Structure 1
């Protein structure tokens, strides 16, 4: 039924949704009655029934325009109806548990909520068949009896039987990410995790006008593009599967790369992106701990603000704050200034509204994905687990300076978060420009972009191909950036990324060529457009040798010199043309003849080679040359592992020396250089990338 179509003698039946960043806050069914319809004996009346997800009658009655019936469901299924006054001519029925139904009866017309939200006239999907459920549920983590634990069930939608192994991998990766979150690690023994394999006949979910036959019929909900939800039948099937393991919550993994996350008190849908573990951590805050969203949008009407939650208040008065016993400041409301950021107070801007709603802390997981819980949200978590006999363990949050004062670490849950965290350190006061590059393991565009970022006093942030990771998106907004320069074509940074930025009213510029060599040449032209350089660094653009360009990024940036790429045995036409057009008279070749052949070297003007027997010694050679030329800021150097590139990509924007090491043992050549020259060292990446033993060895070398 189309949500704008007349139904019987109603003038208009419609649905209004407020869909926040990744959660459904309210669902409203509008019934507008034409003036011609009033009965002779009085005002027009509609009968209503509200039923919950189990089809149990919650409330019923009649109302005359205008009335509002607002029902809230707690985790135990209890209902507290509230009647308020609405605008003239409309009736709103709010039902937070959207698995339920509303019956608006004037001519025996029963309307399922999702039937109003989604056009199902041409979409008939068979119910889940018994043979689509593949085997029994698998218990992935057993911490005790269900009555004393929070049981979480994972189910797939849009995964065919042939894709079940991928679903298993996705679940394992999500759980690993969730366990790395200190706020969940602290209560990890309070969870049981289950997985139930369910096949879909088609791969993917309903999106972009395509209807697919999937287990739970998941499709777009609303027009935000960030919420996908099962049909009524799909939701019932999910609920039934949850009942087989006494699940407290069901997580539906949907087979799409779009950033999507929605939640109710009983289930959530999440897509597979680099941020899925963070999205789930946020959604569990809603579903288990009854926490509200703390972010806000400009222009949201007061009537669309979230209701009071443990972490959302409607007044900054001390007596009105749900967290008044946890306050650590008497300044209420609390100014959102740096000197107050460590306090629990009442910061205005929460529950989708910039004014009129207050949150307890400057930032929190319920405001920015990837952030820890604030003390108030942590208290709500502990209150949930207390009846289960689960005491939180003290989270082990590594300090930046773990073993010594002069060695620190910048890390995140993934490469995107690491780059964002480095940006926070380097650009604490914000930046107008951001340079954005693909953050894959093989990212030549990002290697060439470091000097450009340095020129614009901009961070180098990373993105996935098809969507802006939440850490990157949040950091761009924190910086207050008004312009983003994307390096690379749409095959590496897709058009969806640009649209996300433009939707946020950010100016987007894209620098790209037909291949990596042309893109590097165009970056060089942009870099030197107002400040020419006669020097260029030449590095291999072949996948096996890209690491040499990684170590060259900082010195090249400090010199204002471009990084141009070449094949091993032939100088690309785009590179040769750029050398001529830019007036390059000196070149520094990074890497040995195995990366850049002698034949190519001979074609370069004023060429000098910086290399060593391996990547680690090549990095030392580049660093030694930079020190000898006195071209880099010496107070802090970077150290990264030399096997995979992403963690160190963003470091080039700082214009500093970067050394490489093995992941578990400090490279002896890097150690020698640090012992001789280093004052402070910043390790890029977490302990899985650069181990704790390496950090200890760096402390020894630098002291």
Structure 2
């Protein structure tokens, strides 16, 4: 009871501080298509129950992150009122083999401070030259009769995990549970606290911990866990989060965007991480949308931080030997992600401010030896999954793999060098990462200097300058 009252007081204090903020508007829309075309359609416009949680002093996003950019523009004057970069589940699905054969639709949402006048909400996407171009535009009148202005009472109350000040001055992270029964709510809260503690023990989040508020919320389900179709496990969970997304056994996402947003709207948030009540290794992360992690896995700490890196800062995966559900394509275009490059012009490397003079480009590393060991590791991993061996055996394999790669790298003269190491973005050749090891490359415990800097830039965007 004391813990509940403390959380309630924290939420009330936060809501009180937000009283002068505009309302939060959400445009729900359908994004559909296939590998060669895409379409958008308005579903509804909603006024969420809580005021806008973000700073009204930093409404324009200049970080140049994401496959997409949302712009809210005054319909009469054309003035840009709000913008944020983001990516989508649709964009990932579009690179799968299924998208070449069939069309699918995905729910998506963009949120923004309620404007005082009609606006155009514009969705931009990157062209072949990495420039944002208009993909779709919708007229939104905040006073229109079909705007949903009244929401049902909150089905559950959020818990204040870390509350460091008014939401408008902080980054608000919401940890959402899926697959937890009513009797497992304390288990969910303990997992949320444990994983939040680990996040803020990891630099650069450690140094910026007071710039964050962390909340937790979960709707109880009738049975523990979420679906894992590849093993015949099908479970009804409030958010529909599941394994085997796009055919990848470890990829965990929800495609029920409405269920997620309708629950999350009862807490202040700008970022969401979903904890699934499972022990099987798995997770996922979409920039500006949400990330996921299996809370009971032995590697939950790593999963939570790694996937949050995708969602929070748009960091690319730096590994390339593990199979993934989507493809980058044959052409090596310069990625927008801050921690991967095609190195078309070494003299203009995007992270050159971190590179010491005289560092060779590309930067040598024991690539061949690493790949030989990794092939054996991947074969063993696939064999364990094929016969559904206990998760403890998979965890032990991950531990051996990390130990072997760390031992291989430890004696290399460029182990701590910032340069351009070939192998990144799911490709063995043609893409380069900043350092030999990073949380985005393997299951090590630190972000490289480039990833840490990219994270700090997003913290600066959302917290008071």
Structure 1 and Structure 2 fold alike (TM over 0.5): yes
Q: Secondary structure at the match of 2:246?
A: coil
Aligned to 1:385: 459
- Matched residue, 1:230: 254
Tell me the equivalent position of 2:88: 97
Q: 2:311 aligns with which of 274, 277, 287?
A: 287
Matched, 1:258 2:287: no
User: Which of 228, 242, 245 is 2:264 aligned to?
Assistant: 242
Kept after mapping to 1: 8 A contact 2:203/2:447: no
- Structure 1 residues 142 and 177, CA gap change in structure 2 (3 angstroms): same
* Partner residue, 1:170: 191
Q: 1:319 to 1:100 in 2, by over 3 A?
A: closer
Q: Which residue of 2 aligns with 1:315?
A: 343
| CA distance in structure 1 between the aligned counterparts of 2:88 and 2:178, rounded to whole angstroms | 20
Residue of structure 2 in register with 1:188 after alignment: 209
Cα separation, 1, equivalents of 2:32 and 2:316: 19
**Are 2:402 and 1:328 equivalent residues in the alignment?**
no
Decide whether aligned partners of structure 1 residues 360 and 51 sit closer, same or farther in structure 2, where only a CA change above 3 A counts.
farther
Distance 1:98 1:224 in 2: 14
Output the CA distance in 1 between the equivalents of 2:199 and 2:92: 33
- Native 8 Å contact 1:53 1:99 kept in 2: no
1:284–1:390 CA distance, 2 compared to 1 (3 A): farther
Give the distance between the partners of 1:166 and 1:149, measured in 2 at CA: 27
Q: How far did 1:362 drift? A: 1.1
Structure 1 position 158, deviation (Å): 1.0
CA separation in 2, counterparts of 1:260 and 1:342?
A: 29
1:112 aligns with 2:112: no
Partner deviation per Cα, 1:566-624 (whole Å, 9 max, x = no partner): xxxxxxxxxxxxxxxxxxxxxxxxxxxxxxxxxxxxxxxxxxxxxxxxxxxxxxxxxxx
- After superposition, the Cα gap between the structure-2 partners of 1:151 and 1:318, relative to the gap in structure 1 and judged at 3 Å, is same
Seen in structure 2, the aligned counterparts of structure 1 residues 237 and 143 have a Cα distance that, compared at 3 Å, is: same
Higher radius of gyration, 1 or 2: 1
Measure the CA separation in 2 of the matches of 1:165 and 1:299.
36
Question: Is 1:369 the counterpart of 2:443 in the alignment?
Answer: yes
- Mapping 1:375-454, distance limit 5 Å: 375-388=449-462
Mark the CA change 1:54 to 1:343 in structure 2 (over 3 Å): closer, same or farther: farther
Q: Is the 8 A contact 1:55 1:100 kept in 2?
A: no
* Counterpart check, 1:296 vs 2:289: no
Select which of 130, 138, 157 maps to 2:178: 157
- Deviations 1:360-393, CA, capped at 9 Å, x for gaps: 11111111223311111111122122345579xx
What's 2:241 paired with? 218
From the superposition, tell whether residues 230 and 55 of structure 1 become closer, same or farther in structure 2 (CA, over 3 Å).
Answer: farther
Alignment-derived partner of residue 345 in structure 1: 419
SS in structure 1 at match of 2:217: strand
Cα offset for 1:100? 8.9
CA distance in 1: counterparts of 2:32 and 2:433, whole angstroms: 25
Q: Give the whole-Å Cα distance in 1 for the aligned partners of 2:44 and 2:430.
A: 35
Cα distance between partner residues in 2 of 1:76 and 1:382: 20
For the 8 Å contact 1:189–1:390, the answer to whether it is kept is no
Once the two structures are TM-superposed, the CA of residue 147 in structure 1 deviates from its matched residue by 2.2
Matched-pair contact (CA < 8 Å) for 2:66–2:336 = no
Residue 453 of structure 1 aligns with which residue? none
> How big is the alpha-carbon RMSD for the aligned residues of Structure 1 and Structure 2?
3.7
3-state SS in 2 of match to 1:258? coil
- Paired with 1:201 and 1:275, the residues of 2 have a C-alpha distance of 26
Structure 1 CA distance for aligned equivalents of residues 68 and 167 of structure 2:
16
Contact kept? 2:32, 2:39, Cα under 8 Å: no
**Structure 2 CA distance for partners of 1:198 and 1:386, relative to 1, 3 Å:** same
Residue pairs, 1:541-690, within 5 angstroms: none
**CA 1:101–1:176: 2 relative to 1, 3 Å:** closer
Gaps of 5+ in 2: 1-30, 47-64, 73-85, 95-101, 108-150, 367-411
Find the residue that maps to 1:136 and give its secondary structure: coil
Q: Deviations over 1:460-515 (max 9, x none)?
A: xxxxxxxxxxxxxxxxxxxxxxxxxxxxxxxxxxxxxxxxxxxxxxxxxxxxxxxx
Aligned to 2:40: 50
**Does the Cα contact within 8 Å between 1:278 and 1:369 map onto a contact in 2?**
yes
Whether the aligned pair in 1 keeps the contact of 2:171 and 2:463 (CA below 8 Å) is no
Residues in 1 aligned to 2:321 and 2:222: alpha-carbon distance in whole angstroms: 39
Change (3 A) 1:318 1:99: closer
2:20 is matched with which residue?
Answer: none
- CA distance in 2 between partners of 1:141 and 1:110 (Å): 42
Q: CA deviation at 1:52?
A: 8.8
Query: CA–CA distance in 2 between the matches of 1:171 and 1:205?
Result: 17
* Partner-residue secondary structure (3-state), 1:284: helix
What's the offset of the Cα at 1:332?
0.8
> CA, structure 1 residues 332+371, in 2 after alignment: closer, same or farther (shift >3 Å)?
same
Unaligned stretches of 5+ residues in structure 1: 1-26, 32-45, 57-71, 80-94, 104-108, 115-128, 392-703
SS of 2:361's partner is coil
Determine if contact 2:316/2:337 at 8 Å carries over to the other structure.
Answer: yes
* Shift of residue 242, structure 1, vs aligned partner: 2.8
Over residues 11-59 of structure 1, what are the superposed CA-to-partner deviations in whole Å (9 max), with x where a residue is unaligned? xxxxxxxxxxxxxxxx99647xxxxxxxxxxxxxx97413599799xxx
- For 1:271, the equivalent position in structure 2 comes to 294
Q: 1:154·1:253 contact (CA, 8 Å) conserved in 2? A: yes
SS in 2 for 1:253: strand
TM-score, structure 1 as length reference: 0.38
